[in-house]
Amino acid sequence: MGEQAHHHPQELQLHIAGDQEAKEENSSHPISTITNNQATLAPKPMNFRRWIRVALYSLFVLSGQSVATLLGRLYYNKGGHSKWLATLVQLVGFPILLLLYFIPTPKQPSDPNNPHIQTDAQAPSQSQSPPLKSLALVYLSLGTTVALNCYLYSIGLLYLPVSTYSLICSSQLAFNAFFSFFLNSQKFTPYITNSLFLLTISSTLLVFQSNSDDPKGASGGKYALGFVCTIGASAGYGLLLSLTQLCFRRVIRKETFRAVLDMIVYQSLVSSVIILVGLFVSGEWEHLGREMDGFELGKVRYVMNLVWTAIAWQVFMIGMVGLIFEVSSLFSNSISAVGLPIVPILAVAFFGERMEGVKVIAMILAVWGFISYAYQHYLEDAQPKAQRKIIGGDEVSVRSPLNAPIARVGG
């Protein structure tokens, strides 16, 4: 999840001239002027319609993530056993995203304060596009990583109470900061260090959490396996974010609505094929008929559970793509992280799980860690443009590169 240099075709340089500055101070209207060689950008408040879109996309993210996670837990609670099928429904609904290709993109940036998100019209020409082989390698490697992460998430959700599972997933922010340090020159500020420490402690405390509130009564060994798999999936997701940021900066070299959507769709296609192969190779597909017959809620609800889980994850993805384009990839991932504490609260209501003792402390530390993490980015976004530097005609913020344009799937 990080800020990175973006190469604009006309090599725009952002500056505020002294005379222009004086004029802006005496004016109540924001000024945004773009020329072939220079651009002057002043803050522009979001209009009412854009606030509505941002609120709607945020609702998609929060509701999609929460509903999908709870339905995944319900699948296991009522007689579902196939880890490969539970993983497949997280990904296989991606054709719904193809509808987004028909949405016209604006000719101007959605947010002058967020110039790192380009429109398709502002993207480099096709002659500057990366080679097809490079793109294929990116989509294949990242899609494989997504498939592995989603499978690990499915194992974690099978053996852990959904509240414990969601709290462990919050450690993805700490892992993202860790991998960004090595891959994207992340600098550990006091707030980021504090966040990493709190999220690490939060996940560690859950090792000592009793699994007695698990409706399936998983053994200690299975609880440990679920814990390890969820931690591994969160670490893999943190790595995925950092690698995605690296690919956008080094290979794709543009961050348009189309480029972000391509990344998500092709990743989902690759990971869906991998999981589908795993479903047949593992032999689990042979037992799906009996699993459907034995599902406690009946065959129809078995199918509907899988269908709505797939739809919920795609609603989540649509919200993520929308927030990436309307605001920033940092904001979209932050909204996703905000949704993590919602799931344990809902688990208390729907599955009768207890929120007390160690789990409550872990939840408080996780929320505290997220607030510390988000506050650091607030400080970075609020820094004056004088602290930005021009490299090769591009404006590069000196802030930490922590927001990568990739949506979370799996928990």
Among 186, 172, 238, 196, smallest CA distance to 380 is for: 186
Which residue segment(s) compose the domain that 207 sits in? 13-396
∠256-130-401 over CA atoms, to 5°?
55
- Give the Cα-Cα-Cα angle 339, 181, 378 (nearest 5 degrees): 50
Residue 364 belongs to some domain of the structure? yes
pLDDT at 130: 81
Classify residue 214: in a domain, yes or no: yes
Q: Which amino acid is at 20?
A: Q
Distance CA 401, CA 330 (A): 10
Strand, helix or coil for residue 124: coil
Residues 6+ apart with CB under 8 A from 219: none
> Residue 363 and residue 292: Cα distance in Å, rounded?
35
Whole-number Å distance between alpha carbons of 124 and 7: 8
pLDDT at 176: 76
CA nearest to 153, candidates 210, 84, 81, 211: 84
Scan for tokens 């494989």, then name that residue: 144
- Strand, coil or helix: 15: coil
Total domains, the chain: 1
Q: Nearest-CA neighbor of 237 among 38, 14, 44, 411?
A: 411
Residue 155 falls inside a structural domain: yes
Structure confidence at residue 388 (pLDDT): 44
* Integer-rounded Cα radius of gyration of the chain: 22
pLDDT at 343: 81
- For the chain, the distance separating the N- and C-terminal CA atoms, rounded to the nearest angstrom, is 17
Provide block-wise average pLDDT over 10 residues at a time, the chain (411 residues).
40 38 43 37 57 88 91 92 94 91 63 47 56 91 95 93 84 79 77 80 72 58 90 89 84 82 92 96 92 93 95 90 72 71 80 75 81 74 52 38 46 52
pLDDT for 390 equals 39
Determine, yes or no, domain membership for 408: no
Handedness of CA 238, 243, 248, 250 (dihedral sign): positive
Give Cβ neighbours of residue 31 (< 8 Å, ≥ 6 apart): 20, 23, 24, 40, 42
Residue 128 exposed, middle or buried by CB count within 10 Å (0-12, 13-18, 19+): exposed
What's the CA gap between 315 and 304, in Å, rounded? 16
DSSP state of 112: T
Looking at residue 346, its pLDDT comes to 84
Residue 163 lies in a domain: yes
325 domain residue, yes or no: yes
Which among 404, 143, 407 is positioned nearest to 270, based on CA atoms? Answer: 143
Residue 402 lies in a domain: no
